[in-house]
Amino acid sequence: MATDITINIRGRLADFRRPWVMGIVNVTPDSFYSGSRTRSAVEIEKRVATMMADGADCIDVGGYSSRSGADEVSPDEEWSRVATALEVIRRRWPGAVVSVDTFRASVAAKCADQYGVDIINDIGGGDLDPEIWEVVASRRLAYVLMHMRGTPATMQTLTGYTDITAEVYTDLAMKVARLRQTGVADIIIDPGFGFAKTLQQNYELLASMSHLKDLGLPVLAGLSRKSMIWKALDRAPEDTLDGTVALDTVALLNGADIIRVHDVRPAADTVRLLSLMPGFRGPASGNRPENVSTLHQQPL
pLDDT in tens, 88-146: 999 999 999 999 999 999 999 999 999 999 999 999 999 999 999 999 999 999 999 99
The structure's pTM equals 0.89
What is the percent of the chain with per-residue pLDDT over 70, rounded to a whole number? Answer: 87
Q: Which residues are catalytic?
A: 226, 260
pLDDT, position 70: 53
d(CA 282, CA 3): 8
24: closest CA among 76, 98, 90, 118?
A: 98
Q: What is the pLDDT of residues 228-257, one digit of tens each?
A: 999 999 999 899 999 999 999 999 999 999
Rounded Cα distance, 197 and 148, in Å: 9
Domains and CATH numbers, the chain: 22-289 (3.20.20.20)
Between CA 155 and CA 128 the distance in angstroms is 12
Q: How confident is the model at residue 40 (pLDDT cuts 50, 70, 90)?
A: confident
